[in-house]
Every structure is written in structure tokens, then in C-alpha cells.
Structure 1
Amino acid sequence: MEEIVRGVKRFQQQGYPERKALFKELANGQNPEVLFITCADSRIDPNLLTNSEPGDLFICRNAGNVVPPHSNATGGMTASIEFAVTVLSVAHIVICGHTDCGAMKGVIDPTGLDAVPHVKNWLGHCRAAGEIVKAKYGKLEPVHMNDVIEANVVMQMAHLKTHPAVAVKLAQKAVSIHGWVYDIKNGKVKVYNELEDAFVSLEEAYAEFIGK
């Protein structure tokens, strides 16, 4: 905690003055272009990963970068998605998984989740990803970790489309959904290509942007 407090002081003395004009503008509202849904894992920093500034991303985080399918029950993720899409009018939604994900380890081997029943119940939203990989290989083991991570991102993208606010914007072609997997060890990002039903490099997926 000591380092966190010192970090706040450094921000107040250095980081804030460097962006004073930006924070003055943000004090009166926000206009992010992207809703960024990712894992709560401490090793993931969306702003650091995307080299973005405060105000650029509307960020939602939880164990396993989960988007529960829409239901009549109100939850934090449902409300945040609705707000981002309807009120903030974000143009893009990124669902970003990552390597060495503890939640996906729980999907592969749920036997250790009895002590954390809420986590176990939450990861029920990822169960289909595990079942898909199990059907592919005939079993589900730690060696299939990356497959489960990718399958889970695709599954959460499908869940996202069940939310009425998102469905409306998709029909109007006012929002795009992106599936990412971030590799912690090498800093690379893979992107889901729906036409190929496969994850490709960031450079391949966004060649038109990177080439500019």
C-alpha cells in the first residue's frame, strides 16, 4: 500500500501537471470511442496495452472477461454495457482475454473452486468454451489452455450480441465487436477473424490502420 500512496503523490506532482489541459476537458464529461472488456487480472493494463490516454477507453473488468448473456436480472456488466452503447455511443467493443488466465484454469479444472462458490458460479458463463475445446480434442487438459482462452473470447462475443442495446447498434452498423487475446510474455495481441473463425496477428487484422 505504501507504494500505491507514493504513486498517487507522484501522479499529483508529475502525471497530472503533464496532462492538466486534458483533465480540465475531461472534468466536464467523457466521450470514449471504445468499450474495453477485459479480465480483472492485475497483469493487464488496458491503457498501457493500447497506449491510450484517460478518456479514450470505457473499461469493464471481471474474472475471465465475462459478458453474461442478457437476462431480466440487472448486473454490473449488463448495466455498464447498456450505458456505454446507449449513452456514450461507443463505436467499438473489445473483449480482451489473456494468456495464463486463472479463470480459464478454473474452467479446465473446476475441482479447486469449491472454496470460492461465487467464482465457480460466475465461471458457468465460460463453461461452453471448455465444452467446445473438449469436443475438439476428446478431453480437456491444461495443455489446451490457449484454445480455451480463445474459445472463451468468442463465446463472450456471442453473449454480447444478446444484449438488446448492442443488438440495435449492430443492426444499425453503429458498433463493431472485436475479440482479442493478449500474450503477457511477449506483449503481442491476436485478433479474432470471424470469416476465418481463427485468431490472427494484430498486424494482419488491422493492416489498414497500422499502415497509416
Structure 2
Amino acid sequence: MPIKRMIEGLNEFHDNYFISHREMFEQLSQGQSPEVLFVTSSDSRIDPCLITQSQPGELFVIRNVGNIIPAHGASPSAEAAAVEYAVHGLGIRDIVICGHSHCGAMRGLLQIGNLAQQMPLVYDWLKNNAESTRRLVMDNYPGYSHEKLLKIAIEQNVLTQIENLETHPVIRSKLHAGKLNLHAWIYEIETGEVFAYDAANGQFKLLENRPFPVPNPLIAAHSDSLR
């Protein structure tokens, strides 16, 4: 989309959508109270509000290369600050990590040696934050086709980011209190469908009428220790 078309879009938004929803925007100007933290890719093909049909003010969004949340204890990051603000400051009760099909970050991760010279910053980001995903895939799925490995990497990366989230103090505290749910999703660009991780069978299932929150292993372990 050329910049001229974007400006035309801005004018169209103001003259039509904004005018007809002026009251909603006046309320939003008084503060935000989103219900979900949505973590997804920077990929231009992914629009969280479009695929969930959410209105302004309903989603608090983090986007980056590979829909990654660095584990607690890594270098300070905007992602960690946003997570802390969303959960502690805004009272978010649901967090979605949403990967997607044909993910360029995961494709690059599987061929990471080629990135070092061409895109060193992308290389550093993936090497520092997604190496566990790459190692898991390469060590446990020998002989798979590249496209099958890519699908596995996309799924495993989402689950890795759930695990990374659980290392953050504010997340662990809310999970322990039963005040937070984590969700692992995959958006399929070519079909428009979303698949959610169902821990009961260890698979991503088509998301239709009910959510599949990821069970908190820390809570389960603590409960077992009290028996």
C-alpha cells in the first residue's frame, strides 16, 4: 500500500468510521480497559483485531518478529515491560500467544546460519530467544520435510513462549491465584482458521465454540505436593 493510499484511508476513517463511533472514542479517551493481551507476529498478514473482530480498546497487543516473549532474567525488554503493565496495571485476565502459518521468523530459525551475515539483528533476536525451539525441532524430528519442520517449529515456538511467560513474576503470581489464563493459538492464513493448543490430547485443535486455556504446571505441582 503506497503512502498516498494510507492518507486516503486516514481521511476515510475520520469522515466515516470515527464520526459514526464518536461516543466510543470519547469514552476511550478517558482510559483503557482491555480484556486480553494478544501477542503475535509483526507479519503484515496478521491483524489481531480483524481476525478476532475486536473493537478499539478490547485488545492490548504486543507484536514482534516471531511472537516472542523473552524469559524473565533475560536482558530487559519492551515485551517484559508490556506484559507487566498489561497484567499488573490493566488487570488483564487472558493472554494469547498467537503464531501463524508460513512464519518467516520460524523459517529463518531453521536456517539460522544464513541470517548471521544478511540480517545480524534478526539473527541475534532469534538465537537469543528461540534457540530452544530450534534445538527441540532439529533434535527430535529428523528426516521430516522442511515444510513439516516449519509447521512443527511454529507450534513449538508458541508453546515455548507460554513457558517463557510463566517465568515472569507477575504471571506466576496471577496464575497461582487463579486470576490468569494463558492460550496458545495458531492462525492459518490460507484458511482464516485458528487452532488452539488442547493439553488434554497434546495437539492444536480447531478453535470454535470454547477456549483451551493452557494448564499451569506450577499450580498442578503445588497442588500435588499438598496432598
Q: SS of 1:203's equivalent?
A: coil
Deviation by residue 1:142-188 (Cα, 9 ceiling, x = unmatched) = 22111110000000000000011111110111110000000001100
Aligned AA (1:123): L
Structure 1: where are the runs of 5+ without partners? 208-212
Which residue does the alignment assign to 1:59?
Answer: 61
Match of 1:128 among 129, 132, 136: 132
Give the corresponding residue for 2:187. Answer: 182
Aligned pair partner of 1:119 in 112, 115, 122: 122
Q: Distance in 2 between matches of 1:189 and 1:173?
A: 25
Tell me the SS of whatever aligns to 2:196: strand
Moved beyond 3 Å, runs of 4+:
204-207
Unaligned runs of 5+ in 2: 213-227
Query: d(CA) in 1 for partners of 2:19 and 2:29?
Result: 14
Query: What is the CA-CA distance between 1:20 and the residue it aligns to?
Result: 0.9
Deviates more, 1:108-117 or 1:9-18: 108-117
> 1:210 maps to what in 2?
none
- 1:37 maps to 2:32: no
Q: Return the alpha-carbon distance in structure 1 between the equivalents of residues 125 and 211 of structure 2.
A: 32
Deviations 1:179-204 (A, max 9, x none): 00000011000001123221111026
1:122-161 map, 5 Å: 122-124=125-127, 125-138=129-142, 142-143=146-147, 144-161=149-166
2:101 counterpart of 1:99:
yes
Which amino acid is the alignment partner of residue 175 of structure 1? L
Q: Distance in 1 between matches of 2:168 and 2:211?
A: 26
Equivalent position to 2:27, from 5, 25, 28 = 25
**Alignment correspondent of 1:8:** 10
Cα offset, 1:69, TM superposition: 0.3
Task: Give the superposition deviation at 1:141.
Answer: 5.2
Change (3 A) 1:139 1:121: farther
Matching residue of 2:82: 80
* Secondary structure of the structure 2 residue equivalent to 1:38: strand
Query: Is the contact between residue 113 and residue 120 of structure 1 (CA under 8 Å) also seen in structure 2?
Result: yes
**% same residue:** 36
RMSD: 1.5
TM-score of the superposed pair, with normalisation by structure 2? 0.87
Q: CA deviation at 1:130?
A: 2.0
Partner of 2:206: 201
Aligned residues: 207
Secondary structure, in 3 states, of the residue corresponding to 2:182?
strand
Contact 1:133 1:140 survives alignment (8 Å): no
